[in-house]
Amino acid sequence: MPFSSFQPTLEYAKNLDEQDILASFRQEFYLKEDSIYMDGNSLGLLSKRAERTLLEVVNDWKNLGIDGWSSGKHPWFTLSENLGKKLAPLIGASAEEVIVTGSTTVNLHQLLSTFYHPKGTRTKILADELNFPSDIYAIQSQLRTHGYDPETHLIRVKSRDGRFLYTEDIIELMTEDIAIMILPTVLYRSGQILDMKTLTKEAHKRGILVGFDACHSIGAIPHLFNKWDIDFAYWCNYKHLNGGPGAVGGLYVNHKHLGTSPGLAGWFSSNKEKQFDMEHTLTPADTASAYQIGTPHLLSLAPLIGSLEIFHEAGIEKIREKSVAMTDYLIKLVNHYLLPFSFTMGSPENANERGGHLSLEHKEAARICKSLKEYSIIPDFRSPNIIRLAPVALYTSYEEIWNVVQTLKEIMQKEHYKQYKNEREIIA
């Protein structure tokens, strides 16, 4: 949506809403009256379809009991595979390369157990200092399991400014002792999109396997994992994909690696036709299904069925187009109204380098977030000074974005935030 005629007015925001081709999807979600939700990059809102499919699975359990595994509205035995097939277009993969299973950290453990095989001098793992802590904990744990000290064998790319990573800095650390590289697709603090295509190409030139954490990009931006030849990826489904709190996660394994025995094997790693043979020798599936471990958490899978219906109707390209337009609009409003109050934009100005959320930096960020909640606006705080705001294409309006910025201006003018302590709550 062009911004050549940008005006910092409520009328302009309403005009953008009238032109919005995705506006009808807003009614699909449960939106709290007189409240503005800007934290969909942490937990997406419940849609009516996600609620419906959850209740459908519950109903099958109620009426069919164990027969729900093979019959009913959504037979449970193949539900993870069916959802993987529906997810595949969102990451640019074939159905056989994707499975809905586990959680972000469990899936990273699985993938490292499967693909991290230190040999000779190639024993180290390359990550970055801005990554979400859970990934780092898992990598450190895997290194210890192999007898290596994380202090020497976990190499972390430094950020020059505490916000962004630079492609050339990452490539410089792709040395001959690196076995595998684990990076985020989108940085969870600043929202920066990494150049996955270039990084993968350069890593493969040097014999390094590449894995990406797609938690902050899945459902927000298009991906071409297969075309870019990424070796594996993993993600959660409760942020932009609106799968619900604790939703089952997902993983991708490039087709060239399918057939590699799972590092962490379990009953659901089995070839489906052999699973009930009850043999003590595993016959793994020849798809990404092999990297499941235990029985799927059906009630945490079920909402994703309905959620993905919405994504397929809206289209990830249109979702991305509107997301870019919304974050562009938010940046323009911030620059117009909030610069006098010492806010700094901590996200890339270039839309091609920016994911689905923006990070406003302010020394009083924790207090400002508390104040926003008092005004019934739900932001997200990241220590020490970041206010994350996520205008979500499927359910946020331009008028809401305008109101958020006006509220921030009022909070700063009235110094409303000063009544709170500048420290995070237990859950930020």
Active site residue 234: no
What pLDDT shows up at residue 428?
72
Would residue 428 count as lying in a domain? no
Q: Are residues 262 and 396 in the same domain?
A: no
CATH code of residue 177? 3.40.640.10
Active site residue 115: no
What pLDDT shows up at residue 4?
54
pTM: 0.96
Q: Are residues 56 and 22 in the same domain?
A: no
Total length of the chain = 428
Would residue 38 count as lying in a domain? no
Q: Which of 293, 312, 331 is the last residue of a domain?
A: 312
What pLDDT shows up at residue 422?
81
Please report, for residues 120, 187, 293, 386, 418, the alpha-carbon distance to residue 214 in angstroms, rounded to integers and kept in the order given: 30, 9, 20, 21, 37
- How many domains would you assign to the chain? 2
User: How many alpha carbons lie under 13 Å from residue 426 in its C-beta half-sphere?
Assistant: 0
Residue whose entry in the numeric block shows the structure tokens 């923006």:
358
CATH code of residue 393? 3.90.1150.10
Would residue 377 count as lying in a domain? yes
Which amino acid is located at 292 in the chain? Q
Would residue 387 count as lying in a domain? yes
Catalytic member of 12, 77, 132, 166: 132
Q: Average pLDDT of each block of 10 consecutive residues along the chain (428 residues)?
A: 76 97 98 97 98 98 98 97 98 98 98 97 98 97 98 98 97 98 98 98 98 98 98 98 98 98 97 94 97 97 98 98 98 97 96 97 97 97 96 98 98 96 77
Do the Cβ atoms of 382 and 388 come closer than 8 Å? Answer: yes
Rounded distance between C-alpha atoms, residue 60 and residue 24, angstroms: 30
- Quote the radius of gyration of the chain (alpha carbons, Å): 22
Q: Which of 312, 338, 372 is the last residue of a domain?
A: 312
Would residue 138 count as lying in a domain? yes
What pLDDT shows up at residue 424?
73
Angle at Cα 186 formed by Cα 184 and Cα 187, nearest 5°? 80
Catalytic member of 188, 225, 238, 395: 238
Which amino acid is located at 231 in the chain? D
Known binding residues are 104-105, 132-135, 213, 216, 238, 267, 295
Active site residue 132: yes
What pLDDT shows up at residue 22?
98
Q: Are residues 302 and 332 in the same domain?
A: no
Q: Are residues 155 and 277 in the same domain?
A: yes
Which amino acid is located at 353 in the chain? E
The candidate with the shortest Cα–Cα distance to 116, out of 85, 91, 145, is 145
Q: Are residues 298 and 385 in the same domain?
A: no
Active site residue 205: no
Q: Which of 290, 312, 334 is the last residue of a domain?
A: 312
Beta partners for 358?
A: 389
Known binding residues for pyridoxal 5'-phosphate are 104-105, 132-135, 213, 216, 238, 267, 295
Domain carrying residue 405: 10-30+315-419
User: How many alpha carbons lie under 13 Å from residue 82 in its C-beta half-sphere?
Assistant: 16
Active site residue 239: yes
| Residues ≥6 apart with Cβ < 8 Å to 115 | 180, 209, 211, 231, 232, 257, 260, 263
